[in-house]
Amino acid sequence: MAKAILFDAFRCTGCRGCQVACKQWNDLPAEDTHNTGSYQNPPRVSAETWLVMQFREVENGDGVTWAFGRHACMHCLHPACVSACPVGALYKTDDGPVLYHDDRCIGCRYCMLACPFEIPTFQWDQGLFEGPEIKKCTFCIDRLSAGMEPACVHTCPSGALMYGERDELIAVAEGRIREHPERYLDHVYGKDEAGGTSVLYISPVPFEELGLPELGSAPIQENTEDIMTKATPAVLVGMLIGLGGIYWVVKRRQEMMGKNGGSGRQGDREASS
């Protein structure tokens, strides 16, 4: 059966233990960031940060309160990124995770455009010929394969994260809402949004305050597949032309450097004689 993660925003303390655990387990390097006037850091997910806790101040009566949102791959049941990929680099597993074949990726970045949660990230710091890849949360598939829960869930000290069967987590989420209607909105985000996701949310504040988009229940991939069918041939031709131009420039530069180098060596020999 499909696995899932339940995030309870009411129980979250914003400690960012999950964010640190994600980096440690996946051996992700630190990255240079800048203060943007918020405790949230870094400002968004990247090729080196696959999970970010969002810090938002929300009006609450006469004052404000913190709203902490977990921003990482949602591992959709019908992932738009998978349907957008023209070479099958991204794929959905039966257990829930959406994973990635780095050896198939051509760097088109359609997945980045298709994802409604703005999750897949390109390695912008890698050169074109250095094999840049798309990076995102893997649901700790290596831990799942060993019978362990995801690193973020394992490290959460407040019980804001739970891992288990998707149907069972939905029942837990709905049970909490029934027991404490004063704490939560009467909705489980991800149960139906975009056809359903493998990361579920319950919250005391509107979900947009957690950085989540307002989506219908229809899978986004239905529109994505139609667009890709029409757009892919033209884009692939454009990429081939662009790569051909880059190759010509690099080859020409190497030839010019070779000629200049030869003249220089000849001049040195003449001067020494």
Are 103 and 93 in contact, with CB atoms under 8 Å apart?
no
Task: Kindly report the length of the chain.
Answer: 273
Q: Which distant-in-sequence residues (6+ apart) come within 8 Å of 186 by Cβ?
A: 177
Per-residue pLDDT of the chain (273 residues; tens, 9 = 90+): 799 999 999 999 999 999 999 999 999 999 888 888 888 999 999 999 999 999 999 887 778 888 999 999 999 999 999 999 999 999 999 999 999 998 999 889 999 999 999 999 998 877 665 667 899 999 999 999 999 999 999 999 999 999 999 999 999 999 999 999 999 999 999 999 999 999 999 999 999 999 999 999 999 865 555 555 544 555 555 555 655 555 556 556 666 666 665 444 444 444 444
CA distance linking residue 70 with residue 197, whole number of Å: 14
Helix (H, G, I), strand (E, B) or coil at 89: coil
As a three-state string, the secondary structure of 36-72 is: CCCCCCCCCCECCECCEEEEEEEEECCEEEEEEEEEC
